[in-house]
Amino acid sequence: MLKQRAIKLLENNDCKEPLELLNSAKSTQTTIEKKEFFFNGKKMQIILYPDSSIKAIVPLSTTDNWTGDMYSWYNSGAFLGCAGLVNGHHEGLSYAYHESGNIRAIANFKNTKQIEFEYQFNEEGKLKGAISFIEGKEHGLSLLWDTDTGHLKSVDNYKHGGFHKRLK
């Protein structure tokens, strides 16, 4: 059931590297760093690594809070992922990728706190773990799979953010 849910989230994943947005951000940068620009009528902010490569592009609301879809990159330039933000806090699904481009993690947030299962994947994109969250704390099952065989290696139970007991 959990594996099918992870597959469904991946199939419905609309978190793709926004090349048009990235190119617009790059063309905005000059020798005098301009860290804000408009894209499709929306004010955006560029966050840079110390070497001036783009770390993230974040939409700004009319009150200059980070609100909308944020996109991030590794320092190498590889796409890191995207997350929804409301007033600077995660909201909704968040997708992260390994530098290789394979999925690394999927998490869901509501009212700034992590909820439901966080799915974690190895470098090859195979599901390696699922951790249940309620109100931002680990609560319920935490499962770990052997990515070579696909068999369940361990099952732990958490309560209110603390380890409760090992079930397998």
For each of the domains in the chain, give its residue range(s) and CATH number, in order of start. Answer: 2-166 (3.90.930.1)
39-87 pLDDT tens trace? 888 888 888 888 888 899 999 888 888 999 999 999 999 999 999 999 9
Give which of 92, 86, 133, 129 is closest to 110, Cα–Cα.
Answer: 92
Residue 167 above 90 pLDDT? Answer: no
75-112 pLDDT, tens digit per residue, is 999 999 999 999 999 999 999 999 999 999 999 999 99
What confidence category does residue 123 fall into, taking pLDDT thresholds of 50, 70 and 90?
very high
pTM for the predicted model, two decimal places = 0.87
Among 165, 162, 132, CA closest to 5: 132
List C-alpha distances in Å: 36 to 19, 77, 96, 166, 168. Answer: 17, 19, 24, 49, 51
Q: Answer whether residue 3 shows pLDDT above 80.
A: no
Encoded tokens for 66: 């980070």
> Higher model confidence: residue 66 or residue 10?
66
CA distance 57 to 39: 11
